[in-house]
Structure 1
């Protein structure tokens, strides 16, 4: 192309804002020209920052449907339940799509998106950012070079982090399955996708176990009240909203990221106090209406016999994922930044540092956000579709594994795919 790609951002929350900021770093390649966001203050702030004309500022993504196509690409960063309607409608209007994970909240809706994408020849990427990190690129290179021989099994941990879990899955948008999706789909569909990408081949069988163990009324300490601002335990509780979000006013790192979300971007004592007093993020973690799991394991068997075990849990510090890959000639151990290869023949250890440390959303997923977004832009702008490694076929296949895992958990069975 001899001009920048034009982007419409649907949903100006944390993810939509991240992609818009990344586009602003490459004005010769991409430019944000439209936004759809129901929150007036968030929409106005976003539009002013990206110099979006008033006529291209919309309250709802459906406002784009009754007019000619406004941009080359629609970046869909809406709530999970809105993905299918937006993706299908906008693909039919000729938009190319960057779709936030998960694709949709059930398998039928994922299939509907795939059908629309194929019907329209849409250039679609799912934001499976883990596929794009320098860490993953190096890890796959080492495996391809035979650093540990053939893969026999893999062990992978997603440590959600205790206050991240409380923020997103007890108080936040993903606290109830009927309003969003399962924990596995919302938090770890890209972990399952990453495992399938690293191992390669087809998943043949799935089993899974998990439950909501701790964040329940019966686990509440004596004296706990419905909201943290009125609770006599707010200074001693590990999940205190007042500690987390007021801490974000003083911390310019990850805690501030969560404080910005709960206060709609306004980092003031008044805004945080108002949100703690009246908003969902001030609720006690033991007295809410949450129902998603707080821990789960998923076991996969691939064609050819490779086995993998995946654990996601709320009960950790907020830290990088941990992986061990066991091969016929060695063992690979990774933490999202460092990769250690132990060679069975020489009994030597070699450590590779991929240099990017912060693997959370607040830190750009260890470079994955930027690498994924740039790959998508370059694929479209430069005519290089091979740069999209999270397209419809791969993403649909890994989503099917997630849905099968949930069926296995609910049925107490092993599911064959």
Structure 2
């Protein structure tokens, strides 16, 4: 076989794009499984990057688990967490000495700088202050999204990051997922010609909505952040990143339609445990979700002794918001939200965030002048109008240990890997989600919320 024939057999054409298939696994005709190649800028580290985690909840453990799995890259040397059980478990897992365990984030900064980086996975309203303090003290930062609850605070962090020269990586983890990386790459190569428009859907899934945005920590936008930022700044960001054009205008509609007091069924009670007449048939029954099916229990901080779980769960349902009727909460987050965006070159995008679905997992359709793409994060199907050929690409990545099917397509740990390399090499170019790259989609979110409330089209100025 000559070299030209070999190259042809190891590649496939999609419009102007040529995809090398020698690193892909052929699943069947025109179906290929792939992962991301090793970043050529990565280097063996002489020692791991050291980090202090502020907030040992779900997201803190996502990055903590990466450190536990890859101790040559990242080492957790401190933790701040006010809930004793979480503090103890995190410190034990990472062998954090007693002197480096704190009950509040403020106490971390009473000490001279004792690590390379700070991982900020505190609640949304507690991102700004610790980030500003960490920057002032010379730490590099891995900052969970959203950056901060207000546009001014986001811009303040950006300004201080530039002034201090520190690295601030925003956890826009979808930018690191092989699925979206390949989507962006193909668009840039012209696989579907010029992009004309985008449709993007985030189905939250009805029980996830009830858990996080009706009963849970993000149920009140004034105490945390609006749902367009708390849940969907990922989506605004990935649309903008894939298109790679600045946003010019945005408009939004949506409200809280269903989870309201006037929709409470007859016979329902303040809590699912109060003898509610329709509890057994209610799709949002806390007893069925948490007690019967044992779903989404990480927020309950259950003891290690599993024989006590039933008792603890039932007590939580009787005493916390997680046992309250979804129709009788102080929630104000919209349960359906539509955003329309005009980008440069008159590319349009529509984004829909929907609570009432039986499924989760982002769906995207990209319409181009010479083809289209349709995907659901599990597969990406590209059709070339010029040849009528269709190719299906199946992304593969190591997902978060302990949080399988995280919904981020493996992006969490790929971000953590790049962050460790960026800090070790002091090279922010290893990251695609530094704060100066990520702030535009936050501005889009703030403008969308203003548009929704004022019923007007907003111009976007970065």
Range into which the TM-score falls when normalised by the shorter chain: over 0.9
Q: CA RMSD in A?
A: 1.7
Q: Are positions 1:327 and 2:402 aligned together?
A: no
Q: Are positions 1:261 and 2:303 aligned together?
A: no
Alignment of 1:144-223 (within 5 A): 144-223=188-267
Distance in 1 (alpha carbons) for counterparts of 2:387 and 2:72: 50
Distance in 1 (alpha carbons) for counterparts of 2:399 and 2:259: 27
**Cα offset, 1:363, TM superposition:** 2.4
Structure 1 residue corresponding to 2:167, chosen from 100, 105, 123 = 123
More helix by share: 1
Partner in structure 1 of residue 24 of structure 2: none
**Cα offset, 1:127, TM superposition:** 0.3
Q: How many residues align?
A: 410
- 1:215–1:358 Cα change, 3 Å: farther
Partner in structure 1 of residue 25 of structure 2: none
The answer to whether the Cα contact below 8 Å between 1:320 and 1:358 also exists between their aligned partners in 2 is no
Structure 1 residue corresponding to 2:405, chosen from 363, 374, 378 = 363
The superposition leaves residues 139-195 of structure 1 with CA deviations (integer Å, 9 ceiling, x where unpaired) of: 112212222111000000000010101010001110001110111010001110001
Alignment of 1:58-73 (within 5 A): 58-73=102-117
**Cα offset, 1:383, TM superposition:** 4.6
Alignment of 1:13-162 (within 5 A): 13-162=57-206
| Other structure's SS at 2:78 match | strand
Q: Unaligned 5+ residue runs, structure 1? A: 250-254
| Other structure's SS at 2:155 match | helix
Partner in structure 2 of residue 339 of structure 1: 380
Distance in 1 (alpha carbons) for counterparts of 2:162 and 2:46: 26
Partner in structure 2 of residue 314 of structure 1: 355
> Once structures 1 and 2 are overlaid, which stretch shifts more, 138-147 or 124-133?
138-147
**Cα offset, 1:5, TM superposition:** 1.0
Alignment of 1:211-250 (within 5 A): 211-230=255-274, 231-249=276-294
**Cα offset, 1:265, TM superposition:** 6.5
The superposition leaves residues 253-288 of structure 1 with CA deviations (integer Å, 9 ceiling, x where unpaired) of: xx3xx1122345766112211111111111110011
TM-score (norm 1): 0.95
- Structure possessing the higher radius of gyration over alpha carbons: 2
Q: Unaligned 5+ residue runs, structure 2? A: 1-44
TM-score (norm 2): 0.86
Q: Are positions 1:391 and 2:434 aligned together?
A: yes
The answer to whether the Cα contact below 8 Å between 2:184 and 2:241 also exists between their aligned partners in 1 is no
**Cα offset, 1:42, TM superposition:** 1.2
> Once structures 1 and 2 are overlaid, which stretch shifts more, 356-365 or 134-143?
356-365
**Cα offset, 1:381, TM superposition:** 2.1
| Other structure's SS at 2:346 match | coil
**Cα offset, 1:348, TM superposition:** 2.4
Distance in 2 (alpha carbons) for counterparts of 1:139 and 1:394: 18
